[in-house]
């Protein structure tokens, strides 16, 4: 009878099947996330639980809407998560961008897509404990309209992601991006008079608010801050401790270096040639512009944030309020771009 418990609690099929699964998981460099009970999870950097270099990414592409503007250093520096973050230069006039991307034909999402919009603060540096500095663009918030990339981005990259509805409306040469929560809109981005290529003059994509006269020189020209070093994207990871409010299990800066085509090459040696010959991507590019240009510049653009309370935005009203307070002095550039590939941010690393 001493072996009864062992005999009745063991099934060779279940045991062998699980051992085979563990063997196959370890062969493909698994990425583990909750729930652990069902094995490693697929995601942007590990689609279908297979090595990424065995898949084709030729059909992936995105349309990127971006508005770059000058704003207040003293306001934006309050969004830095620790004292190790600071602006690279001493100027009180700094630059930031609102960037919205419509990702399409994503391999890890079964050839579907989603949208994301974020605030990007330029000219930021992170000072390490040894005094060395990392220069980049800081991402304090990224909204996405799908749970899957939010979960993977927060857990694998440490990105500050939240959910919201993101809608893109196209009316001739005018496009509009709206962000909201369950029907209540808190952000509107207008791109009017979109034309191929760069603007005809410096003023074509520059609109200055009436209250921004102090941001002009004696010749009434907008004062544009000098570009600062930007080697990649800075983020900040924070994981709260369970049952201990105010305490973190993990808290540190993350940096994703800009690698250009290097990241695409990591996915397979023939990605570039696949993109050139893929008929689907070619048709999408052709629909973007009849002249063959992959960039359209807005002759006029605008950014509007609408603050709300906990009733209108129960879980994100503090973020919406912070965005609504961002001063928008001068819009430097507003454009829409067709990008024939999508980065999966696999180069993101802990800074120290």
Model confidence at 178: pLDDT above 60: yes
Confidence of residue 191 (pLDDT cuts 50, 70, 90): very high
Would residue 181 count as lying in a domain?
Answer: yes
For residues 137-158, give the mean pLDDT: 97
Q: What is the CA radius of gyration of the chain?
A: 23
Residue at 6 is within a domain: no
Range name among 40-44, 78-82, 149-153, 181-185 with the lowest pLDDT average: 40-44
Q: What is the pLDDT of residue 141?
A: 98
The residues, any chain, with a CB within 8 Å of residue 104's CB and separated by 6 or more, are: 60, 61, 62, 63, 113, 284
Answer yes or no: are the C-beta atoms of 188 and 167 closer than 8 Å: no
Region 19-24: mean pLDDT is: 91
Structural domains counted in the chain:
1
Q: Does some domain include residue 111?
A: yes
Specify the pLDDT at position 3.
Answer: 79
What is the pTM for the complete model shown? 0.84
Q: Let me know if residue 13 belongs to a domain.
A: no
Which residues make Cβ contacts (< 8 Å) with residue 98, sequence separation at least 6? 66, 67, 117, 118, 119, 120, 187, 189, 303
Strand, helix or coil for residue 68 = strand
Helix, strand, coil shares of the chain, percent, nearest 5, are 25, 40, 35
Q: What range defines the domain where residue 82 resides?
A: 60-350
Distances (CA, A) of 83 to 74, 99, 253: 14, 26, 11
Q: What is the distance between the terminal CA atoms of the chain, rounded to a whole angstrom?
A: 57
What is the reported pLDDT for 282?
Answer: 65
Of residues 186, 182, 165, 179, the one with CA closest to residue 308: 186
Dump pLDDT digits (tens) for 195-239. 997 644 333 332 322 223 334 445 555 555 556 678 999 999 999
Tell me the mean pLDDT in the region 317-332. Answer: 97
Q: Is residue 16 part of a domain?
A: no
Q: Where on the phi/psi map is residue 345: left (φ > 0), alpha (ψ -120 to 50), or beta?
A: left
Q: Which whole number is the average pLDDT over 75-86? A: 98
Asked whether residue 182 is assigned to any structural domain, the reply reads: yes
* Site of tokens 């040894």: 130
pLDDT at 336: 96
Largest CA distance in the chain: 98
CATH of the domain at 140: 2.40.400.10
Bridge partners, 142 (sequence order):
118, 161
Nearest CA among 232, 268, 236 for reference residue 251: 236
Residue linked to tokens 């544009």: 224
Q: Which two tokens stand for residue 162?
A: 């939240």
Is residue 39 one of the residues assigned to a domain?
no
- Mean per-residue pLDDT of the chain: 85
Neighbouring residues of 227: CB distance < 8 A, sequence distance ≥ 6: 95, 122, 123
What pLDDT digit, counting tens, does each position of 154-177 carry? 999 999 999 999 999 999 999 999
């Amino acid at each position: 009878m001493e072996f009864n418990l062992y005999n009745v609690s063991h099934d060779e099929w279940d045991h062998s099947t699980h051992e085979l699964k563990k063997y196959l998981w370890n062969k493909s460099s698994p990425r583990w996330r909750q729930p652990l009970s069902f094995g490693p999870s697929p995601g942007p950097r590990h689609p279908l639980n297979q090595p990424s270099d065995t898949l084709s990414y030729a059909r992936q592409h995105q349309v990127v809407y971006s508005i770059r503007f000058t704003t207040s250093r003293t306001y934006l520096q309050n969004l830095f998560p620790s004292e190790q973050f600071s602006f690279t230069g001493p100027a009180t006039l700094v630059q930031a961008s609102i960037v919205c991307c419509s990702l399409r034909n994503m391999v890890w999402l079964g050839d579907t897509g989603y949208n994301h919009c974020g605030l990007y603060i330029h000219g930021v540096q992170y000072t390490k404990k040894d005094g060395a500095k990392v220069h980049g663009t800081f991402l304090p918030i990224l909204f996405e309209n799908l749970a899957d990339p939010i979960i993977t981005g927060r857990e694998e990259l440490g990105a500050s992601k939240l959910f919201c509805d993101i809608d893109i409306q196209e009316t001739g040469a005018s496009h509009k991006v709206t962000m909201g929560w369950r029907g209540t809109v808190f952000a509107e981005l207008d791109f009017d008079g979109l034309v191929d290529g760069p603007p005809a003059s410096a003023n074509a994509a520059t609109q200055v608010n009436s209250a921004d006269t102090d941001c002009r020189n004696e010749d009434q020209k907008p004062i544009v801050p000098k570009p600062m070093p930007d080697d990649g994207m800075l983020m900040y990871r924070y994981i709260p401790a369970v049952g201990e409010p105010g305490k973190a299990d993990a808290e540190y800066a993350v940096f994703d270096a800009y690698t250009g085509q290097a990241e695409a090459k990591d996915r397979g040696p023939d990605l570039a040639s696949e993109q050139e010959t893929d008929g689907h991507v070619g048709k999408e590019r052709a629909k973007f512009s009849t002249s063959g240009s992959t960039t359209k510049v807005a002759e006029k653009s605008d950014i509007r944030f609408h603050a709300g309370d906990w009733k209108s935005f129960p879980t994100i009203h503090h973020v919406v309020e912070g965005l609504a307070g961002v001063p928008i002095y001068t819009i430097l550039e507003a454009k829409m771009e067709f990008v024939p590939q999508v980065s999966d941010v696999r180069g993101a690393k802990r800074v120290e």
